[in-house]
């Protein structure tokens, strides 16, 4: 989760950080990117069951998984309820601590480089799991069907 540095947003044409003039705040040029999602680390998925849970999350949309420096995160796309139409914070004086501690120093304002890995849809997670895990164990029943063995048909 991230925050803003100012309560007075006025999203203008984007500007490069280095072109910011004295007294200006980068947030004034931003669409409040850091107030529109939250993310937190998760255990590294290791088994089919783990990836199947992730697939389930992604089936709901508005979420993705990413990996940074070996750590897996879930990211949920959801605007903060205090975000204003002008991209300002509607509760600046009483905003959560996490928002107070976040600064523009290393924020995502101009971070379009992406992540080490990003999974945005169930199919991507499935493909990744298939690539790194041994084949799924199938039930004997399924194995029998695959081998062309069929149960006898009982007629009355
Ligand atoms: S992403 Fe950076 S520039 Fe944009 S609102 Fe958040 S702290 Fe400000
Ligand atoms: S409380 Fe304010 S600064 Fe924090 S996420 Fe919400 S709109 Fe952004």
pTM exceeds cut of 0.85: no
> In whole angstroms, what is the distance from residue 126 CA to residue 73 CA?
17
Per-residue pLDDT of the chain (156 residues; tens, 9 = 90+): 333 444 445 556 789 999 999 999 999 999 999 999 999 999 999 999 999 999 999 999 999 999 999 999 999 999 999 999 999 999 999 999 999 999 999 899 998 778 999 999 999 999 999 999 998 776 565 556 566 655 555 554
Our count of domains for the chain comes to 1
Tokens of 61: 């949309």
- Does the beta carbon of 36 sit less than 6 angstroms from any atom of ligand 1? no
- Does the beta carbon of 55 sit less than 6 angstroms from any atom of ligand 2? no
CA geometry: angle at 20 spanning 17 and 22, to 5°? 140
In-domain check, residue 142: no
Buried b (16+ CB within 10 A) or exposed e, 107-125: bebeeeeeeeeebeebebb
Which residue from 4, 39, 79, 104 has its CB within 8 A of the most atoms of ligand 2, so it is best to mutate?
Answer: 4
Residue 72 burial (10 A CB sphere; 0-12, 13-18, 19+) = middle
In-domain check, residue 148: no
In-domain check, residue 70: yes
In-domain check, residue 149: no
């Amino acid at each position: 989760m991230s925050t803003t540095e100012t309560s007075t947003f006025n999203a203008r044409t984007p500007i490069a950080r280095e072109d910011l003039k004295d007294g200006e705040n980068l947030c004034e040029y931003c669409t409040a990117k850091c107030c529109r999602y939250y993310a937190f680390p998760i255990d590294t998925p290791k088994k089919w069951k783990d990836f199947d849970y992730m697939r389930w999350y992604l089936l709901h949309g508005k979420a993705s998984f990413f990996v940074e420096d070996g750590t897996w995160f879930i990211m949920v796309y959801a605007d903060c309820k205090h975000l204003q139409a002008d991209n300002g914070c509607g509760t600046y004086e009483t905003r959560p601590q996490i928002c107070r501690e976040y600064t523009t120093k290393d924020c995502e304002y101009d971070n379009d480089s992406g992540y080490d890995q990003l999974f945005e849809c169930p199919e991507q997670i499935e493909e990744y799991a298939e690539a790194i895990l041994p084949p799924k164990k199938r039930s004997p029943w399924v194995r029998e069907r695959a081998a062309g063995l069929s149960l006898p048909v009982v007629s009355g």
